[in-house]
Structure 1
Amino acid sequence: MYRIARALLFLFSAERAHRLGMTMLRWLGHLAGTCRGMRERTLSSVTYDASVKVAGLEFAHPVALAAGLDKEAEAVDGLLALGFAAVEVGTLTPKPQPGNPQPRLFRIPEHRALINRMGFNNHGAANAAGHLRARTWHPAPVGVNIGKNKDTPLEQAVDDYVACVDTLAPLGDYVVINASSPNTPGLRKLQEPEQLTTLLRAVKARLEQVSPGKPLFLKIAPDLTPEAVDEVVDVVRACGLAGIIATNTTIARPFEHPVAKEAGGLSGAPVREPANAVIRRAYARSGGALPIIGVGGVFTAEDVYEKLKAGASVVQVYTGFIYEGPGMVRQLLEGLGPLLARDGFRSVREAIGADDRVAPPAALPQREPARPQA
Structure 2
Amino acid sequence: MYRLLKPALFRLDPEDAHHLTLRALGAASRVPAWPVAARRLSAPADPRLAQTLWGRPFTSPVGLAAGLDKNGEAVPAFSALGFGFLEVGTVTPRPQPGNDRPRLFRLPQDGALINRMGFNNAGAEALRARLAALPVRPAPVWVNIGKNKTTPNEVAVEDYRACVRVLFEVADGFVVNVSSPNTPGLRALQAADDLGSLVRAVLEEVEAARVRTARRSPPVLVKLAPDLHPEGFEASVGAVLGAGASGLIVSNTTLGREGLTHAHRAQAGGLSGRPLTARSTALVREAYRLTRGRVPLVGVGGVFTAEEAYAKIRAGASLVEVYTALIYEGPGLPARLNRGLAALLERDGLRNVAEAVGVDA
1:37 corresponds to: 37
2:172 corresponds to: 173
1:359 corresponds to: none
| Residues 1:325 and 2:324 aligned together | no
1:360 corresponds to: none
Q: Distance in 1 between matches of 2:107 and 2:262?
A: 8
- Whichever residue aligns with residue 348 of structure 1, its letter is V
- Whichever residue aligns with residue 92 of structure 2, its letter is T
Give yes or no for contact 2:43–2:81 (8 Å, CA) kept in 1: no
- Whichever residue aligns with residue 248 of structure 1, its letter is N
| Residues 1:264 and 2:269 aligned together | yes
Q: Out of 292, 313, 326, which is 1:308 matched to?
A: 313
Q: Distance in 1 between matches of 2:180 and 2:55?
A: 27
Q: Can you give the 5+ residue segments of structure 2 that lack an aligned partner in the other structure? A: 211-215
1:215-266 Cα distance to aligned partner (Å, 9 max, x none)? 1000000112222222122111111110011111000001243201000000
Shift of 1:36: 1.2
Shift of 1:53: 2.1
Shift of 1:93: 0.3
- Whichever residue aligns with residue 37 of structure 1, its letter is A
Question: Which segment is superposed worse, 113-122 or 2-11?
Answer: 2-11
Q: Out of 200, 223, 228, which is 1:224 matched to?
A: 228
Give yes or no for contact 1:144–1:169 (8 Å, CA) kept in 2: no
Give yes or no for contact 2:43–2:83 (8 Å, CA) kept in 1: no
Shift of 1:140: 1.3
Q: Can you give the 5+ residue segments of structure 1 that lack an aligned partner in the other structure? A: 357-374
1:59 corresponds to: 58
2:349 corresponds to: 344
1:63-122 Cα distance to aligned partner (Å, 9 max, x none)? 100100000011111110111111110000011100000000000000110000000001
1:294 corresponds to: 299
Question: What secondary structure does 1:32 align onto?
Answer: coil
| Residues 1:81 and 2:94 aligned together | no
- Give runs of ≥4 in structure 1 deviating > 4 Å: none
Question: Which segment is superposed worse, 51-60 or 270-279?
Answer: 51-60
Q: Distance in 2 between matches of 1:158 and 1:61?
A: 33
1:44-123 mapped onto 2 (5 Å cutoff): 44=44, 46-123=45-122
2:248 corresponds to: 244
Q: Distance in 2 between matches of 1:2 and 1:21?
A: 11
1:7 corresponds to: 7
- Whichever residue aligns with residue 25 of structure 1, its letter is L
1:145-182 Cα distance to aligned partner (Å, 9 max, x none)? 00000011111100111111111122110001000000
Give yes or no for contact 1:229–1:281 (8 Å, CA) kept in 2: no
Q: Distance in 2 between matches of 1:325 and 1:258?
A: 24
Q: Distance in 1 between matches of 2:299 and 2:28?
A: 28
Give yes or no for contact 1:294–1:307 (8 Å, CA) kept in 2: yes
Give yes or no for contact 2:86–2:141 (8 Å, CA) kept in 1: yes
2:218 corresponds to: 214
Question: Which segment is superposed worse, 291-300 or 339-348?
Answer: 339-348
Shift of 1:48: 5.0
Q: Distance in 2 between matches of 1:283 and 1:135?
A: 35
1:250-287 Cα distance to aligned partner (Å, 9 max, x none)? 00001243201000000001111111111101100111
1:34-68 Cα distance to aligned partner (Å, 9 max, x none)? 21121111125x44511122222211011100100
- Whichever residue aligns with residue 19 of structure 1, its letter is H
Q: Out of 232, 253, 256, which is 2:257 matched to?
A: 253
- Whichever residue aligns with residue 288 of structure 2, its letter is Y
Question: What secondary structure does 1:199 align onto?
Answer: helix
RMSD value over aligned CA atoms?
Answer: 1.1
Question: What secondary structure does 1:40 align onto?
Answer: helix
Q: Distance in 2 between matches of 1:49 and 1:103?
A: 43
Shift of 1:4: 1.4
- Whichever residue aligns with residue 220 of structure 2, its letter is L
Give yes or no for contact 2:111–2:274 (8 Å, CA) kept in 1: yes
Describe the shift of the 1:47–1:163 C-alpha distance in structure 2 as closer, same or farther (beyond 3 A).
Answer: closer
Query: What TM-score do you get using the length of structure 2 for normalisation?
Result: 0.96
1:135 corresponds to: 134
Describe the shift of the 1:5–1:56 C-alpha distance in structure 2 as closer, same or farther (beyond 3 A).
Answer: same
1:362 corresponds to: none
1:334-371 Cα distance to aligned partner (Å, 9 max, x none)? 11122112222121111111102xxxxxxxxxxxxxxx
1:156-214 Cα distance to aligned partner (Å, 9 max, x none)? 10011111111112211000100000000010000001111111111110111113532
Question: What secondary structure does 1:208 align onto?
Answer: helix
- Whichever residue aligns with residue 109 of structure 1, its letter is P
| Residues 1:277 and 2:305 aligned together | no
- Whichever residue aligns with residue 3 of structure 2, its letter is R
Q: Distance in 2 between matches of 1:37 and 1:133?
A: 21
Q: Out of 324, 336, 339, which is 1:334 matched to?
A: 339
2:213 corresponds to: none
Give yes or no for contact 2:109–2:261 (8 Å, CA) kept in 1: no
Query: What TM-score do you get using the length of structure 1 for normalisation?
Result: 0.93
Give yes or no for contact 2:197–2:243 (8 Å, CA) kept in 1: no
Shift of 1:315: 0.5
Q: Distance in 2 between matches of 1:214 and 1:339?
A: 31
